[in-house]
Amino acid sequence: MTSTTIVDDTTLTIHSERSLFDVAVEQFSIAADVIGLADDLRARLSTCQREMTVHFPVKMDDGSVKVFEGHRVQHNRMPGPTKGGIRYHQNVTISEVKALAMFMTWKCAVVGIPYGGAKGGVKVDAKALSEKELENLTRRFTSELMPIIGPDTDIPAPDVNTNAQTMAWLMDTYSMNVGHAVPGVTTGKPIVLGGSEGRNEATGRGVVYAIEEAARDIDLDLYGATVAVQGCGNVGGIAAELIEEIGAKVVAISDSRGGIYNANGLNMKKVMAYKAETGSLAGFNDSEEITSEALLELDCDILIPAALENAITAENAPRVRARIIAEGANGPTSPEADLILHDAGILLLPDIYANAGGVTVSYFEWVQAMQAFPWSEQQVNERLRLIMSKSYAAMRDTSKANNVSFRTGALVRAIERVAEFTRIRGVYP
Ligand code: GLU
């Protein structure tokens, strides 16, 4: 049974009989089979080490008190501190947070940074809350998480509907509780609080670096290449601007309310300025309206699903016509759709590689905070480029060697790395 629901960032089809965590375990099992992973390691790596659910009160502007539900899940604590964003969304569930935490473990391993994966989420319609209510919610949720977060244990970052300001409140709350400033407790902070140059753009920039690697591999000239982008936030919006800067033509982009299309290319600077001014893409001149589902099926060279999970399914995958898909979102493609796209010869850059630029620069931010030694934006971008390039080659070679998709190839590398940590550390006590 499937049902279609309108949510904040896009329209998506929810397969109600299967959760995102089921999808994550399915993807894991495919790669574990390729490796021939031992049963004990399969059991350890396919479950989350720590799951915390809290219910907490928040003072609202009208004087009432509302209770919210939030989660923080740490999937694997073997490689180092755990790392991952916090999202505010009305559809947040523990199962979704568990899946996203597992994806973070693999993502960190794919780019070779010394973290395990974590994720957090609060079930809330963030757009219905005032700034003050969001601050109250963030501060109280952070207080609830105090026992399990910290610069050496678990380091949150922004995700869907959270941003640098959210991280500033989180960092301040943590710091007030321990009695001194702790910039390393979070990443994605404002630069003035110890945030990194380039962090805000890092996920979108990483998506574009990933596309450049893939395009070179299949001899696709990005100059004049056509691009469709689902999602116009910190990932989709920035990726669209940056890919336009290198000469590609963004023909369509969408947000939660729908999209805009122009076969000759949109002017992304104008689009982003219009969105910032009006809060939406609707009514942008020089364009036709398009739904965010129709956008996925456009005849284009590159498709960037950068909204929410489960955007490409068995239902619409046969109609996808792009040559390269770069997953800016986490979990936008179902396992059935993966097979269809692979058979169609579409080069799919999986989320755990394609959007790893965000957590990579988060790692740079954390290193800068721990050393109290800031880097220039140029240093940040050069190091990011190097990591995206090396990780691409490793993912491609592993995929070719095992005759599997890039997603499974990336997972094989990631799981092997985390399995090695886990095996060598042994079982305590
Ligand atoms: N929320 C982002 C992601 O899904 C960034 C996580 C981080 O920087 O820790 O990758």
Distance 284 CA to ligand 1 centre (A): 30
Distance 234 CA to ligand 1 centre (A): 11
Task: Determine whether the shortest distance from the Cβ of 133 to ligand 1 is under 6 A.
Answer: no
> Which of 119, 189, 249, 275 does the annotation list as catalytic?
119
For residue 87, the model assigns a pLDDT of 98
For residue 261, the model assigns a pLDDT of 98
Q: Which residue's CA lies nearest to atom 9 of ligand 1?
A: 84
Distance 84 CA to ligand 1 centre (A): 5
Task: Determine whether the shortest distance from the Cβ of 159 to ligand 1 is under 6 A.
Answer: yes
Distance 98 CA to ligand 1 centre (A): 14
For residue 38, the model assigns a pLDDT of 97
For residue 17, the model assigns a pLDDT of 72
Task: Determine whether the shortest distance from the Cβ of 83 to ligand 1 is under 6 A.
Answer: yes
Which residues of the chain fall below pLDDT 70? Answer: 1-16
Q: Residue 75, class by beta-carbon neighbours within 10 Å (0-12 exposed, 13-18 middle, 19+ buried)?
A: buried
Atom of ligand 1 nearest to the CA of 159: 1
Q: Which residues lie below 8 Å from residue 330, measured CB to CB, with a gap of 6+?
A: 100, 103, 309, 351, 355
Q: Which residue's CA lies nearest to atom 8 of ligand 1?
A: 359
Residue in 104, 364, 384 to alter for ligand 1 test, most ligand atoms within 8 A of Cβ: 104
For residue 11, the model assigns a pLDDT of 35
For residue 14, the model assigns a pLDDT of 46
Task: Determine whether the shortest distance from the Cβ of 330 to ligand 1 is under 6 A.
Answer: yes
Task: Determine whether the shortest distance from the Cβ of 362 to ligand 1 is under 6 A.
Answer: yes
**What does pTM read for this prediction?**
0.95
Atom of ligand 1 nearest to the CA of 188: 8
Domains and CATH numbers, the chain: 47-181 (3.40.50.10860), 202-354 (3.40.50.720)
Task: Determine whether the shortest distance from the Cβ of 157 to ligand 1 is under 6 A.
Answer: yes
Task: Determine whether the shortest distance from the Cβ of 358 to ligand 1 is under 6 A.
Answer: yes
For residue 9, the model assigns a pLDDT of 36
Atom of ligand 1 nearest to the CA of 362: 8
Distance 40 CA to ligand 1 centre (A): 28
390 is catalytic: no
Task: Determine whether the shortest distance from the Cβ of 85 to ligand 1 is under 6 A.
Answer: yes
Atom of ligand 1 nearest to the CA of 158: 1
Distance 248 CA to ligand 1 centre (A): 26
Distance 355 CA to ligand 1 centre (A): 8
Record the tokens describing residue 217, joined without a space: 């591999």
- Segment 113-158, tens digit of pLDDT: 999 999 999 999 999 999 999 999 999 999 999 999 999 999 999 9
Residue in 362, 364, 387 to alter for ligand 1 test, most ligand atoms within 8 A of Cβ: 362
Task: Determine whether the shortest distance from the Cβ of 306 to ligand 1 is under 6 A.
Answer: no
For residue 10, the model assigns a pLDDT of 36
Distance 157 CA to ligand 1 centre (A): 6
Distance 112 CA to ligand 1 centre (A): 15
Residue in 359, 360, 366 to alter for ligand 1 test, most ligand atoms within 8 A of Cβ: 359
Task: Determine whether the shortest distance from the Cβ of 84 to ligand 1 is under 6 A.
Answer: yes
3-state per-residue secondary structure call for the chain: CEEEEECCCCEEEEECCCCHHHHHHHHHHHHHHHHCCCHHHHHHHCCCCEEEEEEEEEECCCCCEEEEEEEEEECCCCCCCEEEEEEEECCCCHHHHHHHHHHHHHHHHHCCCCCEEEEEEEECCHHHCCHHHHHHHHHHHHHHHCCCCECCCEEEEECCCCCHHHHHHHHHHHHHHHCCCCHHHCCCCCHHHCCCCCHHHHHHHHHHHHHHHHHHHCCCCCCCCEEEEECCCCCHHHHHHHHHHCCCEEEEEEECCEEEECCCCCCHHHHHHHHHHHCCCCCCCCCEEECHHHHHCCCCCEEEECCCCCCECCCCHHHCCCCEEECCCCCCECHHHHHHHHHCCCEEECHHHHCCHHHHHHHHHHHHHHHCCCCCHHHHHHHHHHHHHHHHHHHHHHHHHHCCCHHHHHHHHHHHHHHHHHHHHCCCC
